Each structure stands twice: as structure tokens, then as C-alpha cells.
Amino acid sequence: MKIVIAKSITISFTLVFLLISSCKETPKEEIAVNQTEELNKWFDDKYEELLQMSPIGLTAQGRKDHYDKIDDLSKEA
């Protein structure tokens, strides 16, 4: 009889443990990482928009996207 009770208790604890461990929600760290990635992408997009409006800024970064749109800043112009 004691063996049956011990097995029942063991099975009960195992089931409770499995039930509790399966009810996890998304960790806050994972949510923070996703939000950080989204914010970084937004900053990258905005920075790229600003660069596309500035051919000289692109040139300063070594990019050759808008070489033909650079204004002539010489004294003769």
C-alpha cells in the first residue's frame, strides 16, 4: 500500500512539474532583443534616407551612389 502511495505522489509531482514548465511565456529578454533590433533597423533606415539626400555625405563615406549629383563647390562656379 505504501508503494502505491509513493508512486502516486511521484507521478503527481512529475505531472505538476511538467505542467508548470510547459506554461512558460516569452522571456522579457527576448522581447527586449526584438525591440532593440527593430529600433536599430529604424535608425539605419532613417540614416540611409538622410544619406540619400546628401551626395557629399555619401562621398565622405566612400560610397559612389550619387557622384553625378555633387554640386560644383569650386570658386569658378
Question: Which amino acid is located at 6 in the chain?
Answer: A
Residue 41 lies in a domain: yes
pLDDT for position 26? 64
pLDDT string in tens for the chain (77-residue length) = 667 677 778 888 787 777 777 776 767 777 888 899 999 999 999 999 999 998 988 989 999 888 888 877 788 75
pLDDT for position 7? 73
pLDDT for position 41? 97
| DSSP secondary structure of 30-59 | HHHHHHHHHHHHHHHHHHHHHHHT-HHHHH
Domain count, the chain: 1
List the domain range (segments joined by +) for residue 57.
27-69
Residue 54 lies in a domain: yes
Residue 12 lies in a domain: no
pLDDT for position 12? 82
pLDDT for position 39? 95
